[in-house]
Copies of this chain bind each other. A is one copy, B any other.
Amino acid sequence: MEFGVIALKLEFGWFCMYKSILRAEEKEISAALLREVEALEPAARPLARHVIEAGGKRIRPLLTVLMGKALGCGDPLLYALAAGIELLHGATLMHDDVLDVAETRRGAPAAHTVFGAGRAILAGDVLLAACMRIMLRSRKFDIIDSVALAAAQTAAGEVEEMDNLRNVRLDFDGYMRIIIGKTARLVSCACEIGAMLAGAAAERIGDAAAFGLELGIAFQLVDDALDVAPESVTGKPVGGDLREGKFTLLAQFYLEGLPQTERGHFLRGFSQGSFSEAELRELVSRMRACGCAERLRALAGEHLLKAGRHLERLPAGREKDTLGFLLNYIKERDH
């Protein structure tokens, strides 16, 4: 009993340490972000500020900084690269919100609802270009190429997702290809460029990229599982993916568990987008009850294990430990 309390206190001590490391890095990243936004073409600044100030988890820039430092990078440019990755992420969010006709982003009004769709599209372009110019400062071709490739793959992944809306024939492989494209590639890139700036050996750069890829896959799997979590927990409307017609793994698992006699109704309603609000609510509570979300989280856990194996190969240190802490956070996250 006594021992249990001590262990708990110790664990809580670690928790506080990781949290404080993350908070300190976040502060540096935010300062770098502000500097980069103020260096943008004046016409794009208000929109960039809007997107950046809406907050977010800053997962990608944190990964760049932690991975860079874990591999011995002491170059202050690391924070600029991290900010660049967040600007690129901001660009994709701005464009996503226009094409999803989303009204809010992170609880704040989406940029296009404040500034108009045209300005949001163009400001996204400015951010994309600004991100490339930040990467150029590293004078490392591999960094520039990694980011340009990730930008292209992210957009292409989103096109593929769009091409498969309401496609109930989308299978596991197709789904994985989409989430790797739209999410995991950029997370992987965020880790990779940190390692590249650190001047790490090719194998370690490979580990950093693979760590990020597995982490990104897990992140999106959990995100998709959270689609049926209560709004009171996530802060997001329930069943958003279902409404939009994304045939995620959650829907695929749900279908698998349905009796043959009920499949036709589900498939028709899904592919035609013809569910009523009452049917959607019913569907969400069935999906919650069927254990599909837990299956997604379990799969995420497998990818996090793989990520952990790549992390193991990094030199010991507090940044490595903090990356391990992030792995755990992603597994447990509920928003």
Residues in A lying within 8 Å of B, measured CB to CB: 40-44, 91-92, 95, 98-100, 116-119, 121-126, 128-130, 132-133, 136, 139, 141, 144-145, 148-149, 151-160, 162-163
Contact = CB atoms under 8 A, between A and B. Distances in A.
Given A126-B152, A149-B133, A156-B126, A95 B121 contact: yes
29 contacts: A40-B156, A41-B155, A41-B159, A43-B157, A43-B163, A92-B125, A95-B125, A98-B121, A116-B162, A118-B162, A119-B162, A122-B156, A122-B158, A123-B155, A125-B125, A125-B151, A125-B152, A126-B155, A126-B159, A128-B129, A129-B148, A129-B149, A132-B132, A132-B144, A132-B151, A136-B141, A136-B144, A136-B148, A144-B144
A44 B144 contact: no
A87 to B, nearest CB: 11
B132 A148 contact: yes
B159 A119 contact: yes
Contacts of A122: 95, 99, 155-156, 158-159, 162
A144 B136 CA distance: 8
Nearest to A153: B41
Nearest to A91: B125
B160 A43 contact: yes
Contact of A43 (B99, B125, B159): B159
A133 B119 contact: no
A129 B152 contact: yes
Nearest to A149: B133
Given A132-B148, A144-B132, A156 B98 contact: no
A160 to B, nearest CB: 5
Given A98-B121, A125-B125, A125-B151, 13 more contacts: A40-B156, A41-B155, A43-B156, A44-B156, A91-B125, A118-B162, A119-B162, A125-B152, A126-B152, A128-B151, A129-B149, A130-B152, A133-B149
